[in-house]
Structure 1
Amino acid sequence: MAITPSVTAYTPATAFERLLTIMDDLRLNCPWDKKQTMESLRHLTIEETYELSDAILSGDMDEIRKELGDIMLHLVFYARIASETDAFNITGVLNGICDKLINRHPHIYSDTEVADENDVKRNWEQIKLKEGNKSVLGGVPASLPALVKASRIQEKARGVGFDWENKEQVWAKVEEELQEFKDEYNVADASTIDHEKAEGEFGDLMFSLINYARFININPEDALEKTNRKFIKRFQYLEERAKEAGRNLHDMSLTEMDVFWNEAKKL
């Protein structure tokens, strides 16, 4: 067996070559790795991507490094599987993305001039259409979570100039959609509502809020996830304090639980 050099002895190129060599070894000799297909790896790749997202939100650089490695392994794995049927290989993958980046950055690799990042985004979408995309929205994956999909749809529409002029207009739309939702589902009114119509109005309200978040540079997915984490932390504090007091949440009133909840908010 070859002597493994120290980590500091590797260059990016030799480190990547090392990963490719290990991948080849595993594919040929490991019973688990030999059985894998693109389909069997798909859900694992999605899981790894979410783990990377968790690490990023936690600000844990060591975990980010590890999760990036896991995803890199998956990318190499897909390319290795494809190479076995001569569909493509890792060299084609890397050259493909390099060619795409050069083609879509004419302000760097050609004589196109841009004023700011918005010009870059507009050029990007226009180039994609020239490459054969039938719709500006064609590149938005159908399986994206709805919140992320709404953000991507709005960003792409903006890339070709279909957008509000300022955030005040967007906020007026939020208020309009909120009023329409209240008209369909007035919480103070116990009358039966048209659920499908109310659902539609609620979706419109969420879409407009996501639009406003974009105008004030807030990522709605990150914002909601941080609120989720905050709620989980406070609720788990509530559970722990109730346990310490010998109480069961099911037997406590909301007023009693609010005492512990307010304690959690101060932490």
Structure 2
Amino acid sequence: MEQVHRLLGIMAALRDPDGGCPWDLAQTFATIAPYTLEEAYEVAEAIRRGDMADLQDELGDLLLQVVFHARMAEEEGFFTFDDVARSISDKLIRRHPHVFGEGDADDAESVRRSWEAIKAEERAAKGEAEHESVLDGITSGLPGLVRARKLQSRAARVGFDWDDPAGPLEKVREEVEELAGEMVEAAEPARLEDELGDLMFAVVNLARHLGVDPETAVQKAGDKFEGRFRHLEEALGAEHDDLSSLGLDRLEAGWQAAKSAERKPQ
């Protein structure tokens, strides 16, 4: 706790109108929010790479975001860092009666069911149950792929789902055909966006049925693309300063060479 108090003191000094940091003093909840999201993604990236030293550093950056928001809230008289810590502690105890109370939970699935039931009780206590839906609590502020998977998983709990991956795979094919049709008809951008969104939503559903996290899959696809393109640049850049002058055919040949290089034993 000593280091937490030290961090809180540092943030108080940075936000002190008398001698604090001009940049920190100029910030608001809205201006800091993008940094909060960025730091959360960087934590996830460190985990994905298995880099524990970087994870320690990124978790510190993320903790700073919590401290920053809490400090601004305290200045406005809304709440303090202690209030934030107390709130999450109370919530954890309340939602884990099998650990801190007399509840029972034999496996992870029973814990999940208990967690959802307690959340529903909390919403009812707040007067939020009048229009209760199984989709309650899934914020629209989530990244698109994450929100799509959460919506689909919630709907699946009440049986609104395919029995196996064949269903969502066929849905992906259907959405591809619909998008292709709109492209042939030179549809308006809004219509193309709508159809493309349907296709991406269907792909997320297929990923869910295959037990694949869509965000992880697309991140790995990005890594693969980056590696191949860098290989292409290295191979062709030695001969040409301006890759754009080569034309698509030559670039495609370099791309295929990069793919072949991946498959060669090291």
Question: In the aligned structure 1, how far is the partner of 2:31 from the partner of 2:179?
Answer: 44
Deviates more, 1:146-155 or 1:107-116: 107-116
The 8 Å contact of residues 177 and 204 in structure 1, kept in 2 or not, is answered as no
What TM-score do you get using the length of structure 2 for normalisation? 0.80
The 8 Å contact of residues 12 and 71 in structure 2, kept in 1 or not, is answered as yes
Deviates more, 1:25-34 or 1:222-231: 25-34
3-state secondary structure, aligned to 2:174: helix
The 8 Å contact of residues 48 and 71 in structure 1, kept in 2 or not, is answered as yes
Give, in angstroms, the shift of residue 224 of structure 1: 0.2
Give, in angstroms, the shift of residue 123 of structure 1: 2.0
Deviates more, 1:214-223 or 1:204-213: 204-213
Give, in angstroms, the shift of residue 95 of structure 1: 0.9
Deviates more, 1:83-92 or 1:49-58: 49-58
The 8 Å contact of residues 184 and 193 in structure 1, kept in 2 or not, is answered as no
Question: In the aligned structure 1, how far is the partner of 2:91 from the partner of 2:4?
Answer: 21
The 8 Å contact of residues 169 and 206 in structure 2, kept in 1 or not, is answered as no
Question: 2:206 maps to what in 1?
Answer: 212
| Cα gap change, 1:248 to 1:170, in 2 (>3 Å) | farther
Task: Name the aligned partner's letter for residue 210 of structure 1.
Answer: V
Question: In the aligned structure 2, how far is the partner of 1:201 from the partner of 1:178?
Answer: 11
In percent, how many aligned pairs have the same letter?
Answer: 36
**Is 1:84 matched with 2:84?**
no
Residues 18-97 of structure 1 correspond to what in structure 2 (within 5 A)?
A: 18-28=6-16, 29-32=19-22, 33-97=24-88
Task: Structure 1 unaligned segments of length 5 or more: list them.
Answer: 1-12
Question: 1:140 maps to what in 2?
Answer: 138
Question: 1:157 maps to what in 2?
Answer: 155
The Cα RMSD (Å) is 2.8
Where has structure 1 moved over 4 Å in runs of 4 or more?
Answer: 193-202
Deviation string 1:32-61 (CA, Å, 9 cap, x unpaired) is 233332222122222222332333333322
Give, in angstroms, the shift of residue 183 of structure 1: 4.2
Question: 2:229 maps to what in 1?
Answer: 235
Question: In the aligned structure 1, how far is the partner of 2:56 from the partner of 2:170?
Answer: 44
Question: 2:166 maps to what in 1?
Answer: 172
Question: In the aligned structure 1, how far is the partner of 2:251 from the partner of 2:92?
Answer: 54
Give, in angstroms, the shift of residue 93 of structure 1: 0.7
What TM-score do you get using the length of structure 1 for normalisation? 0.80
Question: In the aligned structure 2, how far is the partner of 1:40 from the partner of 1:190?
Answer: 38
Give, in angstroms, the shift of residue 190 of structure 1: 8.9
The 8 Å contact of residues 184 and 198 in structure 1, kept in 2 or not, is answered as no
